[in-house]
């Protein structure tokens, strides 16, 4: 269990979207986001106080959360000095990157020496079944997009919030690291073995009351050659009754694919 509150580590994020994990936590769990830590060259800003590690520790921060979602999900060597210093100061570390904290020998050694914990949330914790395609009771809405990072999670979270306020039965279903960090539950879909991805979505959205809605966080885009496989698994496994399309009209090219124009 992650200890709160958090210091959001923005590192050297190239732009605001590169820090979307931090942005999601700040917007949806603001009480947990005490401050941010930015390195030289960081172009992201959550609009919360900048603190040094010492200042954050004095303010009661328990966990440094890596708030960056970079291409490939790598732990940058440029971050290492700060991460090790954070461990030495008594912080736990949490990450949703593909590169795992537990695989970084220097971080593991520091954590063992100083008695802190490393949390990797992008690791499946369940042995998911292969999808069977059997129709389930209840309703499901999947947020889809014309590109990556166009607001699919925000859309599903907002719909869930508004539906609950209106007395409707609904549940937000997280399928990525940011959603899991916000809600404490979900499936890290892009870390699930391909044969089991659709099955993991079936597992996440089981039979429910006929008037209950699962608001499923979308991932990637069918138009994005890098991540379309995850999107297809959500469609097959989610069997959505409704789709909500998210689009960024001011974006000229696909994120990470400068030669691909948006549809």
pLDDT in tens, 189-231: 999 999 999 999 999 999 999 999 999 999 999 999 999 999 9
- Any idea where the domains of the chain sit in the sequence? 6-120, 139-261
Read off the pTM. Answer: 0.90
CA neighbor of 86 nearest in space, from 49, 46, 57: 57
- 78's CB contacts (< 8 A; 6+ apart) are 11, 12, 39
CA distances from 99 to 13, 33, 167, 191 (A): 17, 23, 41, 11
CA distances from 81 to 2, 48, 77, 111, 234 (A): 22, 23, 8, 13, 38
Confidence of residue 187 (pLDDT cuts 50, 70, 90): very high
Cα diameter, the chain = 53
Topology given in CATH for the domain delimited by 6-120: Rossmann fold (3.40.50)
For the chain, give the percent of residues with pLDDT over 90: 95
CA neighbor of 33 nearest in space, from 207, 181, 221: 181
Domain over 139-261 is classified CATH 3.40.50.300 = yes
Shared fold status for 6-120 and 139-261: yes
């Amino acid at each position: 269990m992650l200890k709160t509150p958090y210091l959001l580590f923005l590192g050297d994020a190239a732009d605001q979207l590169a820090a979307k994990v931090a942005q999601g936590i700040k917007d949806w769990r603001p009480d947990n986001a005490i401050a941010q830590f930015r390195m030289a060259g960081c172009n992201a800003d959550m609009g919360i106080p900048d603190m040094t590690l010492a200042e954050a520790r004095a303010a009661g921060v328990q966990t440094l959360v890596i708030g960056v979602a970079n291409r490939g999900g790598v732990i940058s060597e440029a971050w290492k000095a700060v991460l090790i210093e954070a461990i030495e100061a008594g912080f736990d570390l949490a990450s949703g990157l593909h590169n795992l904290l537990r695989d970084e020998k220097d971080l593991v050694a520091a954590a063992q020496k100083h008695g802190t914990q490393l949390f990797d949330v992008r690791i499946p914790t369940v042995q998911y079944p292969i999808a069977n395609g059997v129709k389930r009771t209840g309703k499901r809405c999947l947020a889809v997009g014309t590109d990556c990072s166009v607001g699919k999670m925000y859309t599903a979270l907002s719909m869930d919030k508004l539906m609950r306020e209106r007395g409707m039965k609904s549940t937000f279903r997280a399928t990525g690291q940011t959603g899991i960090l916000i809600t404490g539950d979900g499936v890290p879909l892009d870390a699930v073995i391909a044969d089991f991805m659709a099955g993991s979505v079936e597992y996440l959205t089981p039979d429910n009351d006929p008037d209950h809605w699962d608001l499923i966080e979308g991932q990637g885009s069918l138009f994005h050659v890098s991540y379309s496989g995850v999107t297809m698994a959500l469609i097959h496994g989610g069997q959505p009754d409704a789709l909500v399309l998210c689009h960024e009209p001011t974006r000229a090219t696909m994120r990470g694919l400068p030669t691909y124009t948006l549809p």
